[in-house]
Structure 1
Amino acid sequence: MAQDYPYMMSNNKIGPILQKTMTAAKPLKFTHDFLKKLGFTSTNDRAIIPLLKKLHFLNDDGSPTEYYNRLKDKNDLPYVLGERMRDLYSDLFTINTDIHNASDDEIKGAIGRVTGQDETQVSRFFATLKALLAIAKFGEAPQKIEKKKEEAVKTDIETPKQKKEEHKPSFHYNIQIHLPATTEVSVYNAIFKSLKDNLLI
């Protein structure tokens, strides 16, 4: 629900935490202990976990999702973050499809109308949203665009396979006739007449 927009008190830690997740081994579960191992020991830093869950980088049990894997790619990280933000803040993007480029006052106004929260809570939502916007990029990732171009070029240069000609099987028969040694012409006439009547078309 919209009123459940996640927020952090230490929004300046969002970028560094994402950078650490990019270089650290993927955990079985993203826990407070794992966060401490990354060097983030403040209790305020723990709010990154529900934030990552809302963005669907983590499952409810803390295990990484397929989107988490894309955080490991420094080139893809800002784009997958932008994709997940469009989903999490879909109500805001419904109000303005270009909300990520809107003024601060316009964004706060949209958050207030969508959530119905007071000014203090709206400011908290806004601060976290702005911290995410500073990292995210919106649009299609360059590597995806390049891949589509390569596939298009490959399709253009490929020639269709020619179908092999189908040949009907043909059969040849060799019939050998051993003629009897005789001087009777009527015998030969009878043999050839029988061949004509029974074999020749």
Structure 2
Amino acid sequence: MTNYPYMVSNNKISQIFDTLNTAAKPDKFTNNVLHNLGYRSTNDRAFITLLKKLNFLNSDSSPTSNYDYLKDSTKSKKIIANQIRELYSEMFSINENMNDASDDEIKGAISRITGKEEKDVKRIFSTFKMLCNYADFSDAKIIDNNGDSESQSEQISPFQQPSLGINTTPETSKLTTDFHYNIQIHLPATTDVTVYNAIFKSIKENLL
């Protein structure tokens, strides 16, 4: 069974994320770091586990490459949405818009996936809802554990990689490659028109 994280004091989730946006990036995100940021309750420590599950911290509490996005106010909520989709992938496989699903549907999915008792389901649900309410799903992308992104829409997002000439179409979902060659011909400086005629004749016979 899947084991989703939760915070008892989940009402602080958005507040802590806002704090991280302006706080210095630590070498390791420890309880002392959280304490120095002003979150001193023992219940607040569960936020560190949440950051690990969302792949913002490694197992040793050092920041991952995704953590840097939390420092950018224009992208932080989008990266959080990405990581929510990654962490709760089983739930989003049931409903790709699980973040907008009804409370009953969300709780039902959590119960089936985790097999937890009602008390834990409610806590997981509350944490999930607080995360989703804070995140921006308007143009979410899936970012893997190495920080690479894969587009889920045709819209350009801050995480989309530049095009390499490989086009995708929603009708076929197949990859096609088109190669275009630009040939430059430097003509010699001459007043003899027969030279030009010979060059263009050769192009026609050999290239066209």
- TM-score norm. by structure 1 comes to 0.71
Structure with more helix by fraction: 1
- Residue 7 of structure 1 deviates from its aligned partner by 0.3
- Pair 94,17 (structure 1): closer, same or farther in 2 beyond 3 Å: same
Output the aligned Cα RMSD: 2.6
> Partners in 1 of 2:72 and 2:61 — Cα distance?
20
Q: Is contact 2:75–2:158 with CA below 8 Å preserved after alignment?
A: no
In the alignment, the residues of structure 2 paired with residue 20 and residue 166 of structure 1 have an alpha-carbon distance, to the nearest angstrom, of: 64
Partner of 1:23: 22
Q: In structure 1, what is the Cα distance between the partners aligned to 2:116 and 2:45?
A: 23
The residue number in structure 1 matching 2:55 is 56
Match of 2:90 in 1: 91
Identify the residue that residue 44 of structure 2 maps to in structure 1. 45
Aligned twin of 1:13: 12
In structure 1, stretches of 5+ residues that fail to align are 153-159, 168-201
Structure 2 residue aligned with 1:32: 31
Opposite residue 87 of structure 2, the aligned amino acid is L
CA distance in 1, matches of 2:158, 2:110: 37
1:101 and 2:100 aligned:
yes
Give the Cα separation in 1 of the matches to 2:158 and 2:73. 17
The higher radius of gyration belongs to 1
Residue 161 (structure 1) shift:
6.0
Q: Which has the higher strand share?
A: 2
Indicate whether 1:145 and 2:156 are aligned: yes
Q: Supply the distance in 2 between the matched residues of 1:136 and 1:69 (Cα, whole angstroms).
A: 16
Instruction: Tell me, in whole angstroms, the C-alpha distance in 2 between the residues paired with 1:30 and 1:50.
Output: 10
Percent identity (aligned):
49
Q: Distance in 2 between matches of 1:43 and 1:37?
A: 13
Measured in 2, the distance between the counterparts of 1:49 and 1:60 equals 10
Alignment pair present for 1:110 and 2:90: no
Give the Cα–Cα distance (whole angstroms) in 2 for the partners of residues 93 and 69 of structure 1.
25
Q: Deviations over 1:148-182 (max 9, x none)?
A: 9xx89xxxxxxx86524387xxxxxxxxxxxxxxx
Offset at 1:146? 6.8
- Residue 81 of structure 1 corresponds to 80
> Matched residue pairs, number?
157
Residues of 2 paired with 1:10 and 1:166: CA distance?
76
Unaligned stretches of 5+ residues in structure 2:
141-154, 164-180, 189-208
The runs of at least 4 aligned residues of structure 1 exceeding 4 Å deviation read: none
Q: 2:63 is matched by which residue type in structure 1?
A: P
Give the superposition deviation at 1:32: 0.5
How high is the TM-score relative to the length of structure 2? 0.69
Distance 1:146 1:115 in 2: 32
